[in-house]
Amino acid sequence: MWKNPFNWIKKSFSQAAANENSTVQEIEQLHEFLQAYTSSSVRTTPLREFDEQYFKLPTEQIIAKLPALYLSYEQHISEYKQRKSVEVTLRKAVQLRFPDLTALPQFQLIFKEEDQQNILLAKIFLQGIIKGAIHILGQVEDHFFENALTWVNELPQVNQAFPTFKEGDVSTKEIDAHYLSQISQAISNNLAQKMGARFTQMIFDRTYQEIASLYKLLNTFPIIISLIPQQFLDTDKIGLLTKYQLSTALLEKVNFLEELNQQLATRNQQLQKAQAEVRKAQKASEEAYLQLREVMNAVGDGIITANDQSEIIMVNKKVKEIWGYSAAELIGQQLSILMPEKYRQRHKQGMDRYIQTRESRILNRNIIMEGLRKNGDLFPLEINISDLQFQGKHLFTAAVRDITARIKVENDLKSSKDQLEQKTQDLEQAQRQLKITIKELKNSNHDLERFAYVASHDLQEPLRTVKGYLALVPDQMEKNETEAVREYLSFADLGVVRMEQLIQGLLRYARIGREATELVEVPFDDIMTLVNYNLREQIQTKGAVIKYEPGPRLIGHQIQLVQLFQNLLSNSIKFSKKEEAPQISITHRKTANFWHFAIQDNGIGIPTEQQVVIFEMFKRAHPNKEAQGAGIGLAICKKVVAQHGGDITVKSIPGVGTEFLFSLSDLMPEMKGSNTKLFKND
């Protein structure tokens, strides 16, 4: 039957159309994501109009103009959110959710660093100019444009000067905006010589419009301004290129000025209020000055008034109670008589500074410091100093309070609070430990129930064997069938041996985790040395080859870890193919808090239906006639791994081999938040 030779062409076009449709669907999902990122209530009319026009475009135009869609939303969102934050968080979110879109050549430029964006934008612009020239002129004799295009295509990894430039230019200059503008000027000059200035401006304008339609909202887009020769620039073009940057800067300035204006208005109100209070206080002080002494004596705090020379001019009765000096002893004395030596020089410097500059760190504030009593005792005090100008002179008035009792109460309260916090922490720790203990008890009860069920079920099998054969003995003895009696007794003996194996396995399983053993560092190489020694007879008999790389230092119980690796390797050797020597490999890798091991062999494998229950007690993948055992080994392995904070699984293909995968915790006890014991009684 004749096949249409163009079927493959139709199929290719169908595949391309399917790819385009898939890309458009993903763009629609991106559009929904951007709409969800911003509230519809603040979505501007221009943005809505852009949305409506954008999805009416042909499929190839929707894909081509994807950068303009994204940047329109990013600019809109940055108008009411911090721009830098939008660029970082929004772009990262888009990269994570739409990796296929951000890999598109025209779109991935947006997600580059700013210096890379500069180079890539310049590269696209210069490529457009040169390709436009080649398209019109064709191949000219000097091959200038072909050589220039080759140089531009290699940006930013160029290692030689631009054609017609000196070789030394690259070694003395970086490939920056200034250097690229020189390249653009050289291309412009060559194009103008061949086709004239008007044609050259047409190519520059057309190339500019193509790039601006996609990327003009990028912060880095002004690089294009530096690449356009000055004679081709105009006010409208510069305004269009920088509109986004100027609006952002102006918005930040306006917000700053509004905030500053609000602060100034608030401050002005505060100052006016303070000035009114000062004027009111000045008037009241003139009327009340003659009554001041009596009022001061009625106050519960100590009141001290001094002039701008730090001379005491007035005190009340409370001062005597606090310091022990009488009013006569203090009037005319320096204020420093009431303070320890360590404060006196600082007080003098502060007074001088305030008189000269009116700057003070302590006026009108509650200050905690020490006082010096007449008898030489130090005590804590709280002082608030104010400056009252009376008849052109400074009067510094200090309200003083002995806070010895308060400090004691605060210290007692702090001590009580610290004790309460400590008790609270101890209680929380006890509650956490109780929860852990309850969980461990639940797990232990579950294990005991499972243990009792399995033991009672599987131990009955050899008992039934013994009982059955012993029941046959009397009958055979009556018939004087001595040989049959011996055979039955031998079968009964095998049942007893089987029972003994099961009981010993149960004891080994039960002992795991019951001894309280400290965690220690156990080198993996030491474990393998002991395992190889214990299995030396099996290894030699079967000709087994065990490969492993030098391993890490594990955290755990050496005996338990040796038992884990020994049981798994013994199984791999025991269940090997008769015609093929066991080949066993041990690999390991590290993650944050665990060592992950894989033990792989080329043995007979494990039937699929047995892989689910293989780690339970007395569950065997193969009958006793193939390999002797109690069916406890893998249950022990699972328990050892669990005691070391990990888990164990198996992958196996019958007839091909088996791989055991398990993990062991790499955390020391103090990092786990527990005590120094790894194993606890079940």
Reported as a pLDDT band with limits 50, 70 and 90, residue 451 is low
Residues 6+ apart with CB under 8 A from 376: none
Residue 62 sits in the same domain as residue 90: yes
Query: Does any domain span residue 483?
Result: no
> What are the tens digits of pLDDT across the range 278-321?
788 777 766 765 676 677 777 778 888 888 788 888 888 888 88
CB 535 within 8 A of CB 573: yes
Q: How many domains does the chain have?
A: 5
423, pLDDT greater than 80? yes
Residue 523 sits in the same domain as residue 665: yes
Query: Last residue of a domain, which of 57, 92, 111?
Result: 111
> What are the tens digits of pLDDT across the range 27-54?
889 888 888 877 665 667 778 888 888 8
Query: Last residue of a domain, which of 354, 387, 402?
Result: 402
| pLDDT for the residue numbered 3 | 47
Q: Which domain holds residue 213?
A: 114-233
65, pLDDT greater than 50? yes
| pLDDT for the residue numbered 623 | 54
| pLDDT for the residue numbered 653 | 92
Residue 607 sits in the same domain as residue 656: yes
Amino acid (1-letter code) at residue 448: L
Cα–Cα dist 347/354, whole Å? 11
- % of residues, the chain, pLDDT over 90: 11
Residue 78 sits in the same domain as residue 126: no
Strand partners, 277: none
| pLDDT for the residue numbered 529 | 92
Query: Does any domain span residue 136?
Result: yes
Residue 101 sits in the same domain as residue 120: no
> What are the tens digits of pLDDT across the range 615-669?
886 665 555 544 455 567 888 898 889 888 899 999 999 989 999 999 998 876 5
Residue 364: which region, alpha, beta or left (left: phi > 0; alpha: psi -120 to 50)?
A: left
Residue 118 sits in the same domain as residue 205: yes
| pLDDT for the residue numbered 500 | 59
Residue 315 sits in the same domain as residue 443: no
Query: Does any domain span residue 228?
Result: yes
Choice among 227-236, 242-251, 530-539, 541-550 with the minimum mean pLDDT: 242-251
| pLDDT for the residue numbered 221 | 80
Reported as a pLDDT band with limits 50, 70 and 90, residue 597 is very high
Residue 565 sits in the same domain as residue 634: yes
Is the pTM above the cut of 0.85?
Answer: no
**CATH number, domain containing residue 329:** 3.30.450.20
**CATH number, domain containing residue 618:** 3.30.565.10
Query: Does any domain span residue 36?
Result: yes
Residue 522 sits in the same domain as residue 592: yes
Question: Which range has highest mean pLDDT (11-25, 74-88, 150-164, 450-464)?
Answer: 150-164
| pLDDT for the residue numbered 6 | 46
> What are the tens digits of pLDDT across the range 408-421?
898 888 888 888 88
| pLDDT for the residue numbered 76 | 82
Query: Does any domain span residue 269?
Result: no
371, pLDDT greater than 70? yes
Query: Does any domain span residue 347?
Result: yes
- % of residues, the chain, pLDDT over 70: 76
What mean pLDDT comes out for the span 603-609?
A: 88
The helices-and-strands tally (H runs, E runs) of the chain is 26, 12
570, pLDDT greater than 60? yes
Residue 212 sits in the same domain as residue 185: yes
Query: Does any domain span residue 636?
Result: yes
Report CA torsion sign: 51, 57, 59, 63.
negative
| pLDDT for the residue numbered 251 | 47
Query: Does any domain span residue 498?
Result: no
Mean pLDDT across the chain, nearest whole number? 79
Query: Last residue of a domain, which of 440, 458, 476?
Result: 458
Cα–Cα dist 676/664, whole Å? 17
Reported as a pLDDT band with limits 50, 70 and 90, residue 590 is very high
Residue 224 sits in the same domain as residue 138: yes
Residue (of 155, 167, 166) closest to 126 by Cα position: 155
Residue 331 sits in the same domain as residue 387: yes
